[in-house]
């Protein structure tokens, strides 16, 4: 019976709690909570005074039956063809004898002519302003103290393409776009589960950006989801342009170089995180989706790891860990060995290194810093330049500058090898934000090693380890499952076990359903 009542209920939608809070935020910006007048001229003057000076604001007058009507909208925000064909032409075809005097009659008008559209019945002037800003066309009728807001938002958006930042060889190639509804559809296609929920929030006092919180109800920990709701709703920021703005606002701490959330433009990665018991955040206008909680070892895993044989995946994953160590420590170790601990270098290699450095006028640490900073400049130049010339300039620039520096006696050949290997190892990291933290910490290790030798390197590594252990991502230990050590979760850290052996979700997430094959997950 309750289902039947929902079906026969009026199809004009009422505003949700989040929409009500959003439109009412305009009241704090000088708009009064004033009811819509039944006089069309007053309504037109009120809306026109708000949008005065906007070239794209339009008011169209027309006859609807025996009444005068006005359609107001921003032409840059709406699909003009939809306005002309599905609203203006439809209203013009209404019978001449029709007169709308009550809200119920307006409801009948909607059900008869606009039932296929998303539509809201609004009764206050500040709501009119809000829906016009969203890209709706608002219809006023003479004699009615309410209006209809019909969704005619333009649908121009970028086509779904392959991921350019997290490329893989085998697996799905599509990536998220800037359209938030498209991103939700990509996730729903991968996770056809009625328990997958998306909640809408509005963040940004000036931009009023839509943010979706997604989670699987019967898998994700309820306390974790509640904490995510609290942090998103309390995010105090004036503008959100990308998920990175929100990422900083909801992190447990900002006093760390390591990312405390995971961001990706790959739908398959986000889908697997949802099934593990994490929550996700989608930001309108951003092709990158946030996933949390995150642990340190998540940044060494990519979706392709689960599309290949587990033995090959294990080998590649170990390569990533080795690359992380090289990108972080190799320059510092070079400084320690060539400046403080010559006895640790084999004699033949030491003679070769010293022979190459014979004509170099700078200390090893200064020589290394010069090359590291030069490479960082080339890297940033390659990223910011137009794509047509960026890659060519960065490669040619690195070769020319490196060769010229060696021939001029500014740096040694061996140091060029060290810097090049360090740079290549840094690119192995699948997540760009995590690779950036390595770049920053590498310079810290170089300075402390230049002062204290290998002892300084060990002190720096110990400080990094203690820092990692102290971090939390939405209450989850960042260094789990090694710190604290959880033996059940070791099957997908350094070694990937076969799927038959990894049917348990991460223990540290404290999910409602621990077994991945549990039948409870299919419940609504």
**Does residue 318 share a domain with residue 285?**
no
Average pLDDT over residues 432-442: 91
> pLDDT for 258-268, tens place per residue?
999 999 999 99
Q: Within this chain, do residues 447 and 348 fall inside the same structural domain, yes or no?
A: yes
Highest averaged pLDDT of the listed ranges 82-96, 398-412, 441-455 = 441-455
Which pLDDT value is given to residue 431? 85
Exposure b/e, 166-195, CB count within 10 A at least 16 = b: bebeeebebbbbebbebbbebbeebbebeb
Residue 500 lies in a domain: no
Strands 289-292 and 209-216, how do they pair? unpaired
Residue 12 has pLDDT above 60, yes or no: no
Which of 260, 294, 328 terminates a domain? The answer is 294
Separation of alpha carbons 489 and 478, rounded Å: 14
Residues 358 and 451 in one domain: yes
Amino acid 518: pLDDT:
55
Most confident range (mean pLDDT) of 120-129, 179-188, 445-454 is: 445-454
**Residue 164 domain flag:** no
Question: Please, which pLDDT band fits residue 95 given cuts at 50, 70 and 90?
Answer: low
SS3 assignment, position 496: strand
* 359 CB burial (10 A radius; 0-12, 13-18, 19+): exposed
pTM comes to 0.81
Give the whole-angstrom CA distance, residue 446 versus residue 448.
6
In terms of average pLDDT, the best of 329-338, 361-370, 377-386 is: 329-338
Same domain, 438 and 321: yes
pLDDT confidence tier of residue 392, bands split at 50, 70 and 90: low
For residues 79 and 25, which has the higher predicted lDDT (pLDDT)? 79
**pLDDT score of 135:** 86
Is residue 307 in some structural domain? Answer: no
Is 141 among the domain residues?
A: yes
pLDDT tens by residue, 193-202 = 888 999 989 8
pLDDT at 118 over 50: yes
In a shared domain, residues 18 and 94: yes
Calpha distance 177→400 (Å, rounded): 38
* CA–CA separation, 310 and 288 (whole Å): 28
Are residues 351 and 470 both part of a single domain? yes
In a domain, 398, yes or no: yes
Do 285 and 360 lie in one domain? The reply is: no
Q: Please state, rounded to an integer, the average pLDDT across all residues of the chain.
A: 84
pLDDT in tens, 461-488: 999 999 999 999 999 999 999 988 888 8
How many distinct structural domains can be found in the chain? 3
Note the pLDDT of residue 138: 92
Mean pLDDT over 220-246 rounds to 91
3-state secondary structure of 492: strand
**Highest mean pLDDT out of 121-125, 153-157, 252-256, 445-449:** 445-449
- Same domain for 141 and 196, yes or no, is no
- Residue 506 inside a domain? The answer is no
pLDDT score of 169: 81
pLDDT tens, position by position, 23-55: 665 555 555 678 888 888 998 998 988 888 888
- Percentage of the residues of the chain whose pLDDT score is greater than 70: 88
Structure tokens at 410: 């500014």
Report which of residues 325 and 62 the model is more confident about.
325
What is the domain extent for residue 417?
Answer: 313-477
Bridge partner residues of 74 (DSSP):
57
Classify residue 167: in a domain, yes or no: no
Burial track 68-101 (b if 16+ CB lie within 10 A, e otherwise): ebbbbbbeebbbeebbeebbeeebeebeeeeebe
What's residue 17's pLDDT? 42
Q: pLDDT > 90: what percent of the chain?
A: 31
pLDDT of the residue at 5: 36
| The predicted structure's pLDDT at residue 444 | 94
81 and 221 fall within a common domain: no
343 pLDDT exceeds 60?
Answer: yes
Answer yes or no: do 144 and 17 share one domain.
yes
Tell me what pLDDT residue 26 has.
57
Does 139 share its domain with 197?
Answer: no
Predicted pLDDT at 20:
42
- The answer on pLDDT for 19 being more than 50 is no
Q: Which residue has the higher pLDDT, 109 or 29?
A: 109
Report the pLDDT value the prediction gives residue 389, as an integer from 0 to 100: 60
- Lowest average pLDDT, out of 95-104, 156-165, 441-450, goes to 95-104
> Final residue of a domain: which of 294, 327, 352?
294
Residue 174: inside a domain, yes or no?
Answer: no
Residues 458 and 324 occupy one common structural domain? yes
> Residues 6 or more apart from 165 whose CB is under 8 A from it?
265, 432
Report which listed range, 81-90, 271-280, 385-394, is most confident.
271-280
Return the higher-pLDDT residue of 11 and 140: 140
pLDDT given for residue 462 in this prediction:
96
- Beta-carbon contacts of 396 under 8 Å, excluding residues fewer than 6 positions away, are none
Residue 388: the pLDDT is 60
In sequence order, the β-bridge partners of residue 58 are: 73
pLDDT tops 60 at residue 417: yes
């Amino acid at each position: 019976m309750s289902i039947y009542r929902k079906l026969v209920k009026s199809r004009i939608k009422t505003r949700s709690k989040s929409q009500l809070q959003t439109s009412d935020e305009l009241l704090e910006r000088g708009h009064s909570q004033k009811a819509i007048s039944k006089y069309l001229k007053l309504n037109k003057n009120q809306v026109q005074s708000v949008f005065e000076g906007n070239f794209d604001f339009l008011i169209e007058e027309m006859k609807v039956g025996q009444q005068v009507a006005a359609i107001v909208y921003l032409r840059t925000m709406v699909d003009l063809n939809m306005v002309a064909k599905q609203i203006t032409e439809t209203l013009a075809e209404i019978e001449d004898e029709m007169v709308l005097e009550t809200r119920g009659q307006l409801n009948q008008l909607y059900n008869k002519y606009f039932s296929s559209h998303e539509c809201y019945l609004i009764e206050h002037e500040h709501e009119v302003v809000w829906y016009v800003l969203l890209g709706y066309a608002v219809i006023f009728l003479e004699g009615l103290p309410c209006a209809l807001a019909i969704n005619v938002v333009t649908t121009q958006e970028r086509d779904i393409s392959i991921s350019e930042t997290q490329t893989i060889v085998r697996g799905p190639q599509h990536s998220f776009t800037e359209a938030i509804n498209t991103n939700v559809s990509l996730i729903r296609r991968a996770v056809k589960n009625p328990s997958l929920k998306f909640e809408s929030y509005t963040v940004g006092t000036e931009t009023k950006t839509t943010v979706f919180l997604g989670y699987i109800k019967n898998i994700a920990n309820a306390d974790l989801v509640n904490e995510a709701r609290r942090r998103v709703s309390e995010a105090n920021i004036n503008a959100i342009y990308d998920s990175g703005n929100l990422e900083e606002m909801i992190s447990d701490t900002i006093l760390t170089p390591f990312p405390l959330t995971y961001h990706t433009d790959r739908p398959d990665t986000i889908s697997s995180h949802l099934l593990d018991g994490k929550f996700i955040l989608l930001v309108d206008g951003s092709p990158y989706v946030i996933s949390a909680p995150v642990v340190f070892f998540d940044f060494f895993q990519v979706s392709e790891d689960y599309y290949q044989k587990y033995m090959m995946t294990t080998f590649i994953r170990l390569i990533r860990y080795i690359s992380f160590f090289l990108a972080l420590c190799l320059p510092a170790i070079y400084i320690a060995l060539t400046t403080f601990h010559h006895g640790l270098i084999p004699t033949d290699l030491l003679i070769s290194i010293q022979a190459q450095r014979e004509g170099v006028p700078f200390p090893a640490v200064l020589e290394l810093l010069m090359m590291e900073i030069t490479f960082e400049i080339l890297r940033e130049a390659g990223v910011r330049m137009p794509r047509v010339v960026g890659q060519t300039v960065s490669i040619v620039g690195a070769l020319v500058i490196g060769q010229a520096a060696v021939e001029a006696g500014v740096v040694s050949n061996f140091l060029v090898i060290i810097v090049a290997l360090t740079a290549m190892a840094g690119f192995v990291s699948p997540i760009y934000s995590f690779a950036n933290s390595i770049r920053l910490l590498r310079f810290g290790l170089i300075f402390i090693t230049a002062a204290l030798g290998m002892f300084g390197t060990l002190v720096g590594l110990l400080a990094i380890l203690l820092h990692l252990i102290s971090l939390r991502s939405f209450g989850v230990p960042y260094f789990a499952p090694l710190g604290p050590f959880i033996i059940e979760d070791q099957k997908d850290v350094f070694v990937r076990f076969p799927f038959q052996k990894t049917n348990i979700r991460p223990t540290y997430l404290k999910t409602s359903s621990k077994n991945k094959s549990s039948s409870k997950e299919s419940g609504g």
